[in-house]
A and B are shown apart, each in its own frame.
Chain A
Protein backbone atom coordinates (compact mmCIF):
# COMPACT_ATOMS: atom_id res chain seq x y z
CA UNK A 1 0.00 0.00 0.00
CA UNK A 2 2.77 2.45 -0.83
CA UNK A 3 0.38 4.35 -3.04
CA UNK A 4 -2.09 4.92 -0.24
CA UNK A 5 -3.01 8.54 0.10
CA UNK A 6 -0.35 9.73 -2.32
CA UNK A 7 -2.28 9.92 -5.62
CA UNK A 8 -4.63 12.87 -5.77
CA UNK A 9 -8.17 11.63 -6.27
CA UNK A 10 -11.42 13.39 -6.99
CA UNK A 11 -15.04 12.41 -6.80
CA UNK A 12 -16.69 12.07 -10.21
CA UNK A 13 -20.08 13.19 -8.91
CA UNK A 14 -21.26 16.49 -10.42
CA UNK A 15 -21.90 18.13 -7.04
CA UNK A 16 -18.19 18.64 -6.53
CA UNK A 17 -17.80 21.34 -9.11
CA UNK A 18 -21.32 22.46 -9.96
CA UNK A 19 -22.58 25.04 -7.47
CA UNK A 20 -26.12 24.48 -6.29
CA UNK A 21 -28.41 26.68 -8.29
CA UNK A 22 -30.70 28.77 -6.13
CA UNK A 23 -34.30 28.27 -7.09
CA UNK A 24 -36.72 31.10 -7.56
CA UNK A 25 -36.77 31.87 -3.89
CA UNK A 26 -39.22 34.71 -4.29
CA UNK A 27 -41.87 32.19 -5.24
CA UNK A 28 -43.62 30.26 -2.54
CA UNK A 29 -44.86 27.45 -4.72
CA UNK A 30 -41.66 25.42 -5.02
CA UNK A 31 -41.51 21.91 -3.69
CA UNK A 32 -39.02 20.69 -1.10
CA UNK A 33 -36.50 18.11 -2.35
CA UNK A 34 -38.18 15.33 -0.39
CA UNK A 35 -41.71 16.52 -1.09
CA UNK A 36 -42.54 17.55 2.48
CA UNK A 37 -44.71 20.48 3.54
CA UNK A 38 -42.74 23.53 4.70
CA UNK A 39 -43.76 22.96 8.30
CA UNK A 40 -43.49 19.19 8.33
CA UNK A 41 -40.57 17.41 10.05
CA UNK A 42 -38.95 14.28 8.70
CA UNK A 43 -40.14 11.04 10.30
CA UNK A 44 -37.97 10.31 13.32
CA UNK A 45 -36.71 6.86 14.20
CA UNK A 46 -35.23 6.54 17.68
CA UNK A 47 -33.90 3.56 19.60
CA UNK A 48 -31.99 3.25 22.84
CA UNK A 49 -29.36 0.63 23.62
CA UNK A 50 -27.55 0.72 20.27
CA UNK A 51 -24.09 0.10 21.74
CA UNK A 52 -23.76 -2.68 24.28
CA UNK A 53 -20.32 -1.66 25.54
CA UNK A 54 -21.56 1.77 26.66
CA UNK A 55 -23.33 2.81 29.87
CA UNK A 56 -26.12 4.13 27.70
CA UNK A 57 -26.62 4.77 24.02
CA UNK A 58 -29.11 5.80 21.38
CA UNK A 59 -29.50 5.73 17.62
CA UNK A 60 -31.42 8.41 15.77
CA UNK A 61 -32.46 8.52 12.15
CA UNK A 62 -34.17 11.57 10.67
CA UNK A 63 -34.46 10.96 6.95
CA UNK A 64 -30.89 10.47 5.76
CA UNK A 65 -29.31 11.89 8.91
CA UNK A 66 -28.12 8.94 10.98
CA UNK A 67 -26.41 9.35 14.33
CA UNK A 68 -25.21 7.11 17.16
CA UNK A 69 -24.44 8.49 20.61
CA UNK A 70 -22.78 6.50 23.42
CA UNK A 71 -22.44 7.58 27.02
CA UNK A 72 -19.55 6.38 29.18
CA UNK A 73 -19.41 7.03 32.90
CA UNK A 74 -19.71 8.64 35.31
CA UNK A 75 -16.06 7.62 35.51
CA UNK A 76 -12.80 8.94 36.88
CA UNK A 77 -11.80 12.32 35.45
CA UNK A 78 -8.48 12.70 33.69
CA UNK A 79 -5.54 12.82 36.07
CA UNK A 80 -4.68 16.40 35.16
CA UNK A 81 -8.14 17.67 36.11
CA UNK A 82 -8.54 19.80 39.22
CA UNK A 83 -10.83 18.69 42.04
CA UNK A 84 -14.40 19.59 41.32
CA UNK A 85 -17.54 19.52 43.48
CA UNK A 86 -19.71 18.96 40.46
CA UNK A 87 -19.41 16.43 37.67
CA UNK A 88 -17.88 17.18 34.30
CA UNK A 89 -19.41 16.68 30.91
CA UNK A 90 -17.13 15.81 28.01
CA UNK A 91 -18.60 15.92 24.52
CA UNK A 92 -17.07 14.77 21.26
CA UNK A 93 -18.70 14.59 17.84
CA UNK A 94 -17.05 12.84 14.91
CA UNK A 95 -18.14 12.22 11.35
CA UNK A 96 -17.49 9.06 9.36
CA UNK A 97 -15.47 9.66 6.20
CA UNK A 98 -18.48 8.60 4.13
CA UNK A 99 -20.98 10.80 5.99
CA UNK A 100 -20.83 13.61 3.45
CA UNK A 101 -21.36 13.40 -0.34
CA UNK A 102 -17.69 14.22 -0.89
CA UNK A 103 -15.43 11.97 1.15
CA UNK A 104 -13.99 13.32 4.41
CA UNK A 105 -15.63 16.75 4.51
CA UNK A 106 -17.27 16.57 7.92
CA UNK A 107 -14.48 18.49 9.62
CA UNK A 108 -15.97 21.36 11.63
CA UNK A 109 -16.79 19.04 14.51
CA UNK A 110 -14.88 20.96 17.23
CA UNK A 111 -17.54 23.62 17.00
CA UNK A 112 -20.34 21.05 16.98
CA UNK A 113 -18.84 19.35 20.05
CA UNK A 114 -18.78 22.68 21.89
CA UNK A 115 -22.38 23.42 20.94
CA UNK A 116 -23.47 19.96 22.05
CA UNK A 117 -21.78 20.55 25.40
CA UNK A 118 -23.46 23.92 25.89
CA UNK A 119 -26.91 22.67 25.03
CA UNK A 120 -26.71 19.66 27.38
CA UNK A 121 -24.95 20.99 30.47
CA UNK A 122 -27.90 23.10 31.60
CA UNK A 123 -30.17 20.07 31.67
CA UNK A 124 -27.92 17.64 33.55
CA UNK A 125 -27.75 17.52 37.37
CA UNK A 126 -23.98 17.82 37.45
CA UNK A 127 -23.91 17.81 41.26
CA UNK A 128 -25.22 14.22 41.23
CA UNK A 129 -21.81 12.87 40.15
CA UNK A 130 -19.08 14.98 41.83
CA UNK A 131 -15.40 14.51 40.91
CA UNK A 132 -16.25 12.33 37.92
CA UNK A 133 -16.79 12.78 34.20
CA UNK A 134 -19.60 11.71 31.91
CA UNK A 135 -18.44 11.23 28.33
CA UNK A 136 -20.87 11.91 25.52
CA UNK A 137 -19.51 10.56 22.23
CA UNK A 138 -21.40 10.99 18.99
CA UNK A 139 -20.70 9.52 15.57
CA UNK A 140 -22.52 10.92 12.55
CA UNK A 141 -22.91 7.92 10.25
CA UNK A 142 -24.55 9.89 7.52
CA UNK A 143 -25.10 13.60 7.25
CA UNK A 144 -28.38 14.57 5.64
CA UNK A 145 -29.03 18.01 7.11
CA UNK A 146 -29.80 19.23 10.64
CA UNK A 147 -26.91 17.18 12.03
CA UNK A 148 -26.46 19.18 15.22
CA UNK A 149 -30.11 19.16 16.36
CA UNK A 150 -30.30 15.40 15.74
CA UNK A 151 -27.06 14.83 17.67
CA UNK A 152 -28.35 16.88 20.61
CA UNK A 153 -31.73 15.12 20.82
CA UNK A 154 -30.06 11.72 20.41
CA UNK A 155 -27.49 12.56 23.11
CA UNK A 156 -30.16 13.45 25.65
CA UNK A 157 -31.94 10.18 24.90
CA UNK A 158 -28.68 8.30 25.43
CA UNK A 159 -28.07 10.14 28.71
CA UNK A 160 -31.52 9.08 29.89
CA UNK A 161 -30.73 5.50 28.83
CA UNK A 162 -27.52 5.66 30.88
CA UNK A 163 -29.49 6.77 33.92
CA UNK A 164 -27.77 10.16 34.22
CA UNK A 165 -30.03 12.48 36.18
CA UNK A 166 -31.48 15.33 34.17
CA UNK A 167 -34.07 18.02 34.80
CA UNK A 168 -35.73 17.10 31.51
CA UNK A 169 -34.96 15.67 28.09
CA UNK A 170 -33.28 18.08 25.69
CA UNK A 171 -34.84 18.40 22.27
CA UNK A 172 -33.51 20.42 19.37
CA UNK A 173 -35.06 21.53 16.11
CA UNK A 174 -33.86 23.98 13.46
CA UNK A 175 -35.62 26.08 10.88
CA UNK A 176 -34.16 27.51 7.67
CA UNK A 177 -35.20 30.74 6.08
CA UNK A 178 -35.31 30.52 2.29
CA UNK A 179 -36.44 33.76 0.73
CA UNK A 180 -39.99 34.31 1.93
CA UNK A 181 -40.54 30.84 3.29
CA UNK A 182 -39.57 29.11 6.49
CA UNK A 183 -38.81 25.40 6.27
CA UNK A 184 -38.50 23.23 9.35
CA UNK A 185 -35.97 20.40 9.74
CA UNK A 186 -34.09 21.25 6.50
CA UNK A 187 -32.16 18.65 4.48
CA UNK A 188 -28.54 19.33 3.39
CA UNK A 189 -29.61 20.68 0.02
CA UNK A 190 -31.86 23.28 1.65
CA UNK A 191 -29.17 24.16 4.20
CA UNK A 192 -26.77 24.86 1.32
CA UNK A 193 -28.84 27.69 -0.08
CA UNK A 194 -30.56 29.01 3.00
CA UNK A 195 -30.56 32.73 3.81
CA UNK A 196 -30.70 32.17 7.52
CA UNK A 197 -30.95 29.44 10.10
CA UNK A 198 -32.36 29.27 13.61
CA UNK A 199 -31.93 26.43 16.07
CA UNK A 200 -33.56 26.06 19.47
CA UNK A 201 -32.65 23.44 22.03
CA UNK A 202 -35.08 23.28 24.89
CA UNK A 203 -36.45 21.32 27.81
CA UNK A 204 -39.97 20.72 26.53
CA UNK A 205 -41.81 19.98 29.78
CA UNK A 206 -40.18 22.86 31.65
CA UNK A 207 -40.55 25.26 28.73
CA UNK A 208 -36.94 26.38 29.08
CA UNK A 209 -34.49 27.08 26.30
CA UNK A 210 -30.89 25.91 26.82
CA UNK A 211 -29.52 27.23 23.56
CA UNK A 212 -30.68 29.42 20.73
CA UNK A 213 -28.49 30.06 17.71
CA UNK A 214 -29.37 32.27 14.82
CA UNK A 215 -27.34 32.97 11.71
CA UNK A 216 -28.00 34.90 8.53
CA UNK A 217 -30.66 37.32 7.52
CA UNK A 218 -33.82 37.53 9.64
CA UNK A 219 -36.66 39.98 10.15
CA UNK A 220 -38.37 40.31 13.53
CA UNK A 221 -41.73 38.78 12.50
CA UNK A 222 -39.85 35.89 10.86
CA UNK A 223 -37.92 35.23 14.08
CA UNK A 224 -41.16 35.03 16.04
CA UNK A 225 -42.71 32.69 13.53
CA UNK A 226 -39.59 30.47 13.44
CA UNK A 227 -39.39 30.27 17.22
CA UNK A 228 -43.03 29.25 17.47
CA UNK A 229 -42.41 26.54 14.87
CA UNK A 230 -39.31 25.22 16.66
CA UNK A 231 -40.85 25.17 20.11
CA UNK A 232 -43.92 23.38 18.84
CA UNK A 233 -41.78 20.77 17.05
CA UNK A 234 -39.54 20.40 20.13
CA UNK A 235 -42.49 19.50 22.35
CA UNK A 236 -43.69 16.95 19.78
CA UNK A 237 -40.21 15.45 19.51
CA UNK A 238 -40.08 15.33 23.32
CA UNK A 239 -43.19 13.13 23.32
CA UNK A 240 -41.69 10.76 20.75
CA UNK A 241 -38.49 10.47 22.80
CA UNK A 242 -40.45 9.86 25.98
CA UNK A 243 -42.45 7.07 24.39
CA UNK A 244 -39.22 5.55 23.05
CA UNK A 245 -37.79 5.47 26.57
CA UNK A 246 -40.98 3.99 27.99
CA UNK A 247 -40.95 1.30 25.34
CA UNK A 248 -37.36 0.27 26.06
CA UNK A 249 -38.03 0.29 29.81
CA UNK A 250 -41.09 -1.92 29.46
CA UNK A 251 -39.32 -4.42 27.18
CA UNK A 252 -36.35 -4.67 29.54
CA UNK A 253 -38.66 -5.42 32.47
CA UNK A 254 -40.29 -8.38 30.77
Chain B
Protein backbone atom coordinates (compact mmCIF):
# COMPACT_ATOMS: atom_id res chain seq x y z
CA UNK B 1 0.00 0.00 0.00
CA UNK B 2 2.77 2.38 0.93
CA UNK B 3 4.57 1.47 -2.28
CA UNK B 4 1.55 2.23 -4.41
CA UNK B 5 1.19 5.63 -2.81
CA UNK B 6 4.83 6.32 -3.55
CA UNK B 7 4.35 5.38 -7.18
CA UNK B 8 1.32 7.59 -7.43
CA UNK B 9 3.20 10.56 -6.06
CA UNK B 10 5.56 10.63 -8.97
CA UNK B 11 2.76 10.75 -11.53
CA UNK B 12 0.14 12.82 -9.77
CA UNK B 13 -0.05 16.56 -9.85
CA UNK B 14 1.30 18.18 -6.68
CA UNK B 15 -1.97 19.87 -5.72
CA UNK B 16 -3.93 16.63 -6.08
CA UNK B 17 -1.37 14.74 -3.99
CA UNK B 18 -1.55 17.45 -1.34
CA UNK B 19 -5.33 17.03 -1.03
CA UNK B 20 -5.44 13.23 -1.24
CA UNK B 21 -2.49 12.39 1.01
CA UNK B 22 -2.02 15.47 3.15
CA UNK B 23 0.01 13.73 5.83
CA UNK B 24 2.44 12.12 3.37
CA UNK B 25 2.72 15.42 1.54
CA UNK B 26 3.76 17.19 4.70
CA UNK B 27 6.03 14.40 5.91
CA UNK B 28 7.96 14.45 2.64
CA UNK B 29 8.60 18.13 3.20
CA UNK B 30 9.51 17.62 6.85
CA UNK B 31 12.09 14.97 5.98
CA UNK B 32 13.85 17.67 3.95
CA UNK B 33 13.60 20.18 6.84
CA UNK B 34 11.33 22.55 5.00
CA UNK B 35 7.61 23.31 5.02
CA UNK B 36 5.21 23.67 2.06
CA UNK B 37 5.33 27.48 2.38
CA UNK B 38 9.17 27.36 2.17
CA UNK B 39 9.69 28.10 5.87
CA UNK B 40 12.16 26.34 8.09
CA UNK B 41 10.55 24.19 10.78
CA UNK B 42 11.50 26.59 13.56
CA UNK B 43 10.56 29.77 11.71
CA UNK B 44 7.44 31.79 12.42
CA UNK B 45 5.59 33.58 9.64
CA UNK B 46 6.05 37.27 8.85
CA UNK B 47 4.34 39.36 11.47
CA UNK B 48 3.05 42.90 11.18
CA UNK B 49 1.33 45.21 13.62
CA UNK B 50 -0.65 48.43 13.18
CA UNK B 51 -1.75 50.42 16.20
CA UNK B 52 -4.86 52.59 16.31
CA UNK B 53 -6.77 50.81 13.56
CA UNK B 54 -10.19 51.53 15.10
CA UNK B 55 -10.96 55.22 15.61
CA UNK B 56 -14.08 54.60 17.72
CA UNK B 57 -12.15 52.66 20.38
CA UNK B 58 -9.84 53.93 23.13
CA UNK B 59 -7.09 51.54 22.13
CA UNK B 60 -6.76 49.18 19.19
CA UNK B 61 -4.35 47.05 17.21
CA UNK B 62 -4.38 45.01 14.01
CA UNK B 63 -2.04 42.02 13.91
CA UNK B 64 -1.17 39.83 10.95
CA UNK B 65 0.85 36.65 11.38
CA UNK B 66 1.08 35.23 7.88
CA UNK B 67 -2.56 35.22 6.81
CA UNK B 68 -3.98 35.02 10.33
CA UNK B 69 -5.45 38.45 11.07
CA UNK B 70 -6.66 39.75 14.44
CA UNK B 71 -8.28 43.05 15.29
CA UNK B 72 -8.34 43.97 18.97
CA UNK B 73 -10.02 47.04 20.42
CA UNK B 74 -10.59 48.35 23.93
CA UNK B 75 -13.50 50.46 25.04
CA UNK B 76 -13.39 52.00 28.51
CA UNK B 77 -16.58 52.21 30.52
CA UNK B 78 -17.25 53.15 34.12
CA UNK B 79 -18.48 50.77 36.82
CA UNK B 80 -18.97 50.75 40.56
CA UNK B 81 -16.24 48.60 42.08
CA UNK B 82 -17.15 45.65 44.26
CA UNK B 83 -16.97 46.03 48.02
CA UNK B 84 -14.23 43.37 48.21
CA UNK B 85 -11.95 45.37 45.93
CA UNK B 86 -12.96 49.03 46.11
CA UNK B 87 -9.68 50.20 44.55
CA UNK B 88 -9.67 47.95 41.52
CA UNK B 89 -11.03 48.17 38.03
CA UNK B 90 -11.87 45.24 35.86
CA UNK B 91 -10.99 43.79 32.46
CA UNK B 92 -13.51 41.84 30.38
CA UNK B 93 -11.94 39.90 27.53
CA UNK B 94 -13.90 38.38 24.69
CA UNK B 95 -12.63 36.57 21.60
CA UNK B 96 -14.89 36.41 18.55
CA UNK B 97 -14.74 34.33 15.41
CA UNK B 98 -17.28 35.92 13.07
CA UNK B 99 -18.45 33.91 10.02
CA UNK B 100 -16.17 35.92 7.72
CA UNK B 101 -12.99 34.39 9.15
CA UNK B 102 -13.22 30.75 8.21
CA UNK B 103 -15.31 28.34 6.11
CA UNK B 104 -16.09 26.27 9.21
CA UNK B 105 -17.88 29.06 11.07
CA UNK B 106 -21.45 29.80 10.04
CA UNK B 107 -24.03 32.15 11.53
CA UNK B 108 -25.81 30.39 14.37
CA UNK B 109 -23.10 27.74 14.50
CA UNK B 110 -20.15 29.39 16.25
CA UNK B 111 -16.66 27.88 16.25
CA UNK B 112 -15.86 25.60 19.17
CA UNK B 113 -12.43 27.17 19.41
CA UNK B 114 -13.69 30.67 20.18
CA UNK B 115 -14.79 30.24 23.82
CA UNK B 116 -11.69 28.13 24.53
CA UNK B 117 -9.35 30.82 23.23
CA UNK B 118 -11.40 33.47 25.01
CA UNK B 119 -10.86 31.71 28.35
CA UNK B 120 -7.16 31.10 27.68
CA UNK B 121 -6.69 34.77 26.84
CA UNK B 122 -8.33 36.06 30.00
CA UNK B 123 -6.46 33.52 32.14
CA UNK B 124 -3.15 34.50 30.58
CA UNK B 125 -3.66 38.25 30.63
CA UNK B 126 -5.07 38.40 34.15
CA UNK B 127 -2.52 36.02 35.67
CA UNK B 128 0.54 37.42 33.89
CA UNK B 129 0.41 40.57 36.01
CA UNK B 130 0.69 42.69 32.88
CA UNK B 131 -1.89 45.11 34.21
CA UNK B 132 -2.30 46.27 37.76
CA UNK B 133 -6.05 46.48 38.27
CA UNK B 134 -5.49 49.22 40.87
CA UNK B 135 -4.43 51.52 38.02
CA UNK B 136 -7.97 51.30 36.70
CA UNK B 137 -9.44 52.85 39.83
CA UNK B 138 -10.96 56.33 39.53
CA UNK B 139 -12.66 57.22 42.82
CA UNK B 140 -12.11 54.67 45.56
CA UNK B 141 -15.26 52.67 46.23
CA UNK B 142 -17.30 54.84 43.85
CA UNK B 143 -16.02 54.46 40.34
CA UNK B 144 -13.49 52.45 38.41
CA UNK B 145 -12.76 51.60 34.80
CA UNK B 146 -14.12 48.52 33.14
CA UNK B 147 -11.93 47.80 30.13
CA UNK B 148 -13.84 45.86 27.49
CA UNK B 149 -11.31 44.14 25.27
CA UNK B 150 -12.82 42.52 22.18
CA UNK B 151 -10.65 40.59 19.77
CA UNK B 152 -12.01 39.69 16.35
CA UNK B 153 -10.45 37.07 14.14
CA UNK B 154 -10.75 38.43 10.59
CA UNK B 155 -8.89 35.62 8.86
CA UNK B 156 -8.20 32.26 10.53
CA UNK B 157 -5.05 30.53 9.31
CA UNK B 158 -3.64 28.80 12.36
CA UNK B 159 -1.92 29.93 15.59
CA UNK B 160 -5.01 31.92 16.55
CA UNK B 161 -4.11 32.19 20.23
CA UNK B 162 -0.64 33.62 19.50
CA UNK B 163 -2.02 36.30 17.22
CA UNK B 164 -4.89 37.14 19.57
CA UNK B 165 -2.60 37.51 22.58
CA UNK B 166 -0.21 39.74 20.63
CA UNK B 167 -3.13 41.89 19.42
CA UNK B 168 -4.44 42.17 22.99
CA UNK B 169 -1.07 43.23 24.39
CA UNK B 170 -0.60 45.74 21.55
CA UNK B 171 -4.08 47.20 22.09
CA UNK B 172 -3.28 47.73 25.78
CA UNK B 173 -0.03 49.49 24.92
CA UNK B 174 -1.92 51.74 22.51
CA UNK B 175 -4.69 52.49 25.03
CA UNK B 176 -5.28 56.18 25.76
CA UNK B 177 -7.51 56.58 28.76
CA UNK B 178 -9.86 59.56 28.38
CA UNK B 179 -9.62 62.37 30.95
CA UNK B 180 -12.76 62.29 33.07
CA UNK B 181 -14.26 64.16 35.99
CA UNK B 182 -16.95 63.47 38.55
CA UNK B 183 -20.01 65.62 37.90
CA UNK B 184 -22.58 66.82 40.45
CA UNK B 185 -24.84 63.80 39.94
CA UNK B 186 -22.02 61.46 40.90
CA UNK B 187 -21.48 60.28 37.34
CA UNK B 188 -18.17 60.16 35.57
CA UNK B 189 -18.06 62.24 32.39
CA UNK B 190 -15.40 62.87 29.80
CA UNK B 191 -13.74 66.27 30.03
CA UNK B 192 -14.02 67.65 26.53
CA UNK B 193 -11.53 70.19 25.28
CA UNK B 194 -14.03 73.02 24.77
CA UNK B 195 -15.52 72.92 28.24
CA UNK B 196 -12.16 72.83 30.01
CA UNK B 197 -12.08 76.55 30.80
CA UNK B 198 -15.52 76.93 32.30
CA UNK B 199 -15.89 73.71 34.23
CA UNK B 200 -12.97 74.04 36.59
CA UNK B 201 -15.03 73.18 39.66
CA UNK B 202 -15.21 69.51 38.59
CA UNK B 203 -11.53 68.69 38.55
CA UNK B 204 -10.40 65.81 36.37
CA UNK B 205 -9.87 62.73 38.50
CA UNK B 206 -7.27 61.04 36.36
CA UNK B 207 -5.24 63.78 34.72
CA UNK B 208 -1.92 62.02 35.09
CA UNK B 209 -3.19 58.49 34.53
CA UNK B 210 -3.64 58.47 30.76
CA UNK B 211 -1.56 55.39 30.01
CA UNK B 212 -1.41 52.03 31.72
CA UNK B 213 1.97 50.86 32.92
CA UNK B 214 2.43 47.46 31.34
CA UNK B 215 4.71 45.19 33.29
CA UNK B 216 5.98 41.99 31.70
CA UNK B 217 3.97 41.64 28.50
CA UNK B 218 3.15 37.98 27.69
CA UNK B 219 3.98 36.58 24.24
CA UNK B 220 2.90 33.18 22.93
CA UNK B 221 4.21 30.65 20.45
CA UNK B 222 2.29 27.57 19.34
CA UNK B 223 4.22 24.56 18.05
CA UNK B 224 3.10 21.33 16.45
CA UNK B 225 4.62 18.10 17.73
CA UNK B 226 4.74 15.43 15.04
CA UNK B 227 7.06 12.45 15.42
CA UNK B 228 10.51 13.98 15.98
CA UNK B 229 9.61 17.27 14.39
CA UNK B 230 8.66 20.52 16.06
CA UNK B 231 6.92 23.03 13.78
CA UNK B 232 6.67 26.58 15.04
CA UNK B 233 3.70 28.82 14.23
CA UNK B 234 1.55 26.34 12.25
CA UNK B 235 -0.90 27.27 9.50
CA UNK B 236 -4.52 26.10 9.59
CA UNK B 237 -3.67 23.31 7.13
CA UNK B 238 -0.84 22.03 9.31
CA UNK B 239 -3.02 22.23 12.41
CA UNK B 240 -5.73 20.16 10.74
CA UNK B 241 -3.32 17.39 9.71
CA UNK B 242 -0.98 17.13 12.71
CA UNK B 243 -3.06 17.55 15.79
CA UNK B 244 -0.71 17.81 18.75
CA UNK B 245 -0.13 21.39 19.79
CA UNK B 246 1.95 22.96 22.54
CA UNK B 247 1.48 26.64 23.32
CA UNK B 248 4.06 28.30 25.53
CA UNK B 249 3.58 31.80 26.89
CA UNK B 250 6.66 33.69 28.09
CA UNK B 251 6.79 37.25 29.36
CA UNK B 252 9.20 39.94 28.17
CA UNK B 253 11.90 38.74 30.58
CA UNK B 254 11.44 35.19 29.22
CA UNK B 255 9.81 33.82 32.36
CA UNK B 256 7.24 31.12 31.77
CA UNK B 257 3.67 32.40 32.20
CA UNK B 258 1.72 29.39 30.98
CA UNK B 259 1.98 26.21 29.01
CA UNK B 260 -0.90 24.49 27.23
CA UNK B 261 -0.82 21.05 25.78
CA UNK B 262 -4.45 20.25 25.10
CA UNK B 263 -4.16 16.51 24.53
CA UNK B 264 -3.43 15.26 21.03
CA UNK B 265 -2.13 11.90 19.84
CA UNK B 266 1.56 12.66 20.42
CA UNK B 267 3.04 12.72 23.91
CA UNK B 268 5.59 15.38 24.71
CA UNK B 269 8.84 14.44 26.41
CA UNK B 270 10.50 16.90 28.69
CA UNK B 271 13.16 17.63 26.08
CA UNK B 272 10.47 18.49 23.52
CA UNK B 273 8.85 20.91 25.92
CA UNK B 274 12.24 22.50 26.54
CA UNK B 275 12.80 22.84 22.78
CA UNK B 276 9.43 24.55 22.46
CA UNK B 277 10.36 26.97 25.21
CA UNK B 278 13.67 27.71 23.47
CA UNK B 279 11.82 28.49 20.23
CA UNK B 280 9.39 30.62 22.16
CA UNK B 281 12.27 32.58 23.69
CA UNK B 282 13.43 33.48 20.16
CA UNK B 283 9.92 34.49 19.22
CA UNK B 284 9.53 36.75 22.28
CA UNK B 285 12.50 38.80 21.04
CA UNK B 286 10.98 39.12 17.54
CA UNK B 287 7.55 40.12 18.83
CA UNK B 288 8.99 42.53 21.39
CA UNK B 289 10.94 44.30 18.61
CA UNK B 290 7.84 44.55 16.41
CA UNK B 291 5.81 45.97 19.30
CA UNK B 292 8.51 48.48 20.28
CA UNK B 293 8.86 49.67 16.69
CA UNK B 294 5.10 50.17 16.35
CA UNK B 295 4.98 52.13 19.60
CA UNK B 296 7.89 54.40 18.69
CA UNK B 297 6.41 54.99 15.21
CA UNK B 298 3.21 56.10 16.87
CA UNK B 299 5.01 58.51 19.20
CA UNK B 300 6.78 60.14 16.26
CA UNK B 301 3.52 60.83 14.41
Contact = CB atoms under 8 A, between A and B. Distances in A.
Given A12-B190, A97-B94, A139-B98, A51 B57 contact: no
Interface hub of A11, A57, A92 (most chain B Cβ within 10 A): A11
B90 A96 contact: no
Interface string B69-101: 101010111111010000000101110101111
Contacts of B98: 94, 137, 139
Q: Interface residue tally of chain B, by bracket?
A: 35 or more
Q: Interface residue tally of chain A, by bracket?
A: 35 or more
B152 A96 contact: yes
A34 B148 CA distance: 29
A36 interface: no
Contact of B100 (A13, A14, A54, A103): A54
A7 B155 contact: no
B259 interface: no
Contact of B77 (A10, A51, A94): A10
B54 A142 contact: yes
Contacts of B71: 96, 141
A92 B100 CA distance: 9
Contacts of A72: 103
Given A1-B122, A51-B155, A141 B54 contact: yes
A64 B92 CA distance: 26
Given A53-B236, A68-B154, A96-B150, A12 B189 contact: yes
A1 B92 contact: yes
Contacts of A5: 92
B224 interface: no
Nearest to B138: A12
B67 interface: yes
B148 A97 contact: yes
Nearest to B150: A97
B95 to A, nearest CB: 12
Given A7-B79, A94-B98, A142-B56, A53 B157 contact: yes
Contacts, number: 118
A90 to B, nearest CB: 8
B190 A1 contact: no
B24 to A, nearest CB: 24
Interface of A: 1, 3-5, 7-14, 50-54, 57, 64, 68-70, 72, 75, 92, 94, 96-101, 103, 135, 137-139, 141-144
24 contacts: A7-B82, A7-B90, A9-B78, A9-B79, A12-B76, A12-B178, A12-B188, A13-B178, A50-B155, A53-B155, A53-B157, A57-B100, A70-B99, A70-B100, A70-B101, A92-B99, A96-B152, A97-B75, A98-B73, A98-B148, A103-B77, A103-B148, A138-B100, A139-B154
Interface of B: 54-57, 60, 67, 69, 71, 73, 75-80, 82, 90, 92-94, 96, 98-103, 106-107, 122, 126, 146, 148, 150, 152, 154-157, 178, 180, 187-190, 192, 236
Given A51-B101, A96-B71, 20 more contacts: A4-B92, A5-B92, A7-B146, A9-B79, A10-B78, A11-B75, A12-B180, A68-B100, A75-B103, A92-B99, A96-B150, A97-B94, A98-B75, A103-B75, A137-B100, A138-B100, A139-B98, A139-B100, A139-B154, A143-B56
